[in-house]
Amino acid sequence: MTDIEISKILDIPSNTIADWSKTKSKRNKLYSFLSKMKLDEVKKINSRKNKTDDKPKFSKKAKSVKLDKSWFYTDLLWSSGNEQRIGINRIISIYMSNPEQRNTDSLIKLFGADRIETVINDNFDFDNRTKSVKTTALEQVHYGFAPIKRKYKRKLVINTDKLSKQLTGATQKRIDRIVSKVDKNIILEAARKVSFPQSYAIEDKIEYAIGKIV
């Protein structure tokens, strides 16, 4: 990784990283180790740590479950009744074929990231569409239920018109990043400048992000 990448991953000033790079620094060995790592490897390790420290609700041996539609943000299993027994891999395949971060987070908590990745890799490589979906689905699984840390230390001057354009069509991950830097009241004000019903969906994502703040 570059010094800038190390600084962003560890959330520490770049001048601190510069000090670590000096041979006499007590952190020089750590710096050397980090600089030899690839950014993708670190992101994957970090995302797995952030997902959850708890074990999935269902074990890897479980093949099917009684469906509880309250698990998910949206109901993509409309043809199946609540409490109907349904295959776990089928649930994962259906929700990952139309990936939405909040549903993905629920799948991780229920069945674990490793199982979800296996299903995605086994079922999303048949044509250009499924390959495109696979990329998005895996990105969401790797991102996982990442807690949000506030990064702003002073009141920022925000142009809500410009911010509303950034929010339009933004993914949950993008909105999480904005929430970490901007006061929630300003973000919600910007969201309300987007035309309905998209504004409602954006506000919903903002509230979800706020719930992840630590």
**23-54 per-position pLDDT tens digit:** 888 888 888 888 888 877 776 666 555 544 46
Peptide bond just before 197 cis, omega within 30 deg: yes
What one-character DSSP code corresponds to residue 213? B
Q: Is the pLDDT of residue 16 over 80?
A: yes
Question: Which letter, b or e, does each residue of 57-80 get, where b requires 16 or more Cβ atoms within 10 Å of its Cβ?
Answer: ebeeeeeebebeeebbeeebbeeb
Phi first, then psi: give them for residue 123, nearest 5 degrees: -125, 0
Angle, CA of 185, 210 and 106, to the nearest 5°: 150
Q: Is the pLDDT of residue 150 over 80?
A: no
**Arithmetic mean of pLDDT, 9-14:** 78
61-71: pLDDT as tens digits: 999 999 999 99
CB atoms within 10 A of CB 167: 24
How far, in Å, CA of 111 to CA of 98, rounded?
18
Would you list the domain boundaries of the chain?
Answer: 3-37, 64-143, 160-210
Mean pLDDT, all residues of the chain: 85
Tokens of 96: 């990952």
154-210: pLDDT as tens digits: 556 788 899 999 999 888 989 998 888 888 888 899 999 998 888 988 999 998 888
How far, in Å, CA of 6 to CA of 1, rounded?
6
- pTM for the model: 0.65
What one-character DSSP code corresponds to residue 168? T
Residue whose structure tokens are 């954006």: 202
83-92: pLDDT as tens digits: 999 999 999 9
